[in-house]
Amino acid sequence: MNFDYTDEQNAIRDSLSKWAAQQYDFDKRREALKSEDAWKKNWATFAEFGLLAAPLPEEFGGLGGGPIDVSVVAEEFGKALIVEPFVPTVVIGGGALTYAGSAAQKDEHLTAIAGGERVIAFAQAEPKSRWALNDVSTSAKKDGAGYVLNGQKAVVLGGPQADVLLVSARTAGGQRDAKGVSLFLVPKGAKGVSTRDYPTMDGTRASEVYLENVSVGADALLGPADGALPLIERIVDDANAAYNHEAVGCMRMMTDLTREYAKTRKQFGKAIAEFQVLQHRMVDMFMAAEESYSMALRATIKLGENDVERARAVSAAKVSIGKASRFVGQAAVQIHGGMGVTDEMRVGHYFKRTTMLDATFGNVDYHLKRFTALSAKAA
């Protein structure tokens, strides 16, 4: 057994955290959220650091790393509240291409992702699908050698920044059938694609994507026709594993910020940190963050196992972390008192981010059900 990070992984963490301290402090982040293009500069920096190449295969410009490298990056993203679309592009887009892309697709996209020249968003959810990955109404009809896509995609994270969309669409079967789902790489600028961008609860942005008679060639198909659901399950598990680490980073920061605030805030002639009821609450926050890290790490390590074991571990972690982050976020705000509900305090923004993450690719109830169903399969 070995829980140590490699020197390279420690180096990634250090460089990212140093950069964030200098270039991504609270005020600069606020500026970045307001401007349409500030993220591009940050993105170029991430490419320079090798973050965007970290888990990608070496023959396509990657560094040949794996999920642990991703987890290190994600946790630092969480700590610094970095909002650039790392997971949609590198973990989901890069993952799908690595697992199932043709040589030509890998050559075209992976190298560009690693170099910071490609941003991919996952156009998967639909207005009525909630989190069900099999619930796909968007259609892709055979048209000569290619396909024609029609439908609407909902809450596409990273959509405003993306230049390529990874679209799930139905090539066969009924709306909720497991079989008949396929994945397509669609340039956002393709004829018939339109988007409406809007802010999300954590201050980042997302898009509704409308596909109207969008023609793509046969080479847009990524992975097997009609049989992409297992691939979608896998990349979403990868994404959730990364988001779990991001939530851990947020929880650790909330725990630290709350402890520091409680030590300096005085009421009744002493620091509120001296009140036992708050001490115990902060201990519970600390324990929740520690167990969350354990569960996040467990899921990340199990990403390479068979489909059932991988999915069970990710769903288990998503359940633990969803519950823990809600508790930690609410407690952090509560202990900050009135200041906790203001926009000017950092703590509330972590709370909003973890609330956002909980509602991304399935909340606690969703993953509790998934875990239960998978456990029946595993037994």
Indicate which single residue of 123, 278, 282, 319 sits in contact with another protein (rule: CB under 8 A).
278
User: Of residues 316-335, which lie at the interface with another protein (CB under 8 A)?
Assistant: 326, 330, 333-334
**In terms of DSSP bridges, do strands 266-267 and 120-123 run parallel, antiparallel, or are they unpaired?**
unpaired
Q: Is 117 one of the binding residues for another protein (CB under 8 A)?
A: no
Tell me, what amino acid is at 110? Answer: L
Q: Is 198 one of the binding residues for another protein (CB under 8 A)?
A: yes
Q: Is 376 one of the binding residues for another protein (CB under 8 A)?
A: no
**In terms of DSSP bridges, do strands 164-170 and 120-123 run parallel, antiparallel, or are they unpaired?**
parallel
DSSP letters along 135-150, please?
----EEEEETTEEEEE
Indicate which single residue of 11, 44, 68, 132 sits in contact with another protein (rule: CB under 8 A).
132
Residue 339 DSSP one-character state: G
Phi, psi of 154 (to 5 degrees): -110, 145
Indicate which single residue of 18, 26, 31, 127 sits in contact with another protein (rule: CB under 8 A).
127
User: Of residues 138-167, which lie at the interface with another protein (CB under 8 A)?
Assistant: 154-155
Q: Find the shortest distance in angstroms from Cβ 191 to another protein.
A: 22
Indicate which single residue of 171, 366, 371, 374 sits in contact with another protein (rule: CB under 8 A).
366
- Please give the distance of CA 124 from its chain centroid, rounded to a whole number: 13
The 34-73 contact track toward another protein, x by CB under 8 A, reads ----------------------------------------
Q: Is 26 one of the binding residues for another protein (CB under 8 A)?
A: no
Q: E strand or H helix at 216, and its extent?
A: strand 205-216
Q: Is 13 one of the binding residues for another protein (CB under 8 A)?
A: no
Indicate which single residue of 283, 342, 377, 378 sits in contact with another protein (rule: CB under 8 A).
342
Dist CA 291 CA 331 (whole Å): 16
The window from 35-43, 59-67, 193-201, 225-233 that contacts another protein (CB under 8 A) reads 193-201
Dist CA 283 CA 328 (whole Å): 10
Dist CA 31 CA 35 (whole Å): 6
Closest of 168, 169, 167, 210 to residue 186, by C-alpha: 167
Q: Is 172 one of the binding residues for another protein (CB under 8 A)?
A: no
Q: Is 3 one of the binding residues for another protein (CB under 8 A)?
A: no
The 251-270 contact track toward another protein, x by CB under 8 A, reads ---------------xxxx-
Collapsing DSSP to helix, strand or coil, 190 comes out as coil
Dist CA 359 CA 348 (whole Å): 17
Is residue 136 within 8 A of residue 175, CB to CB? The reply is yes
Is residue 215 within 8 A of residue 143, CB to CB? The reply is yes
Q: Find the shortest distance in angstroms from Cβ 333 to another protein.
A: 5
- Residues near another protein, by CB under 8 A: 125, 127-128, 130-132, 135, 154-155, 176, 196, 198-201, 203, 206, 208, 266-269, 275, 277-278, 326, 330, 333-334, 337-338, 340-344, 348, 351-352, 355-356, 359-360, 362-363, 365-366, 368-369
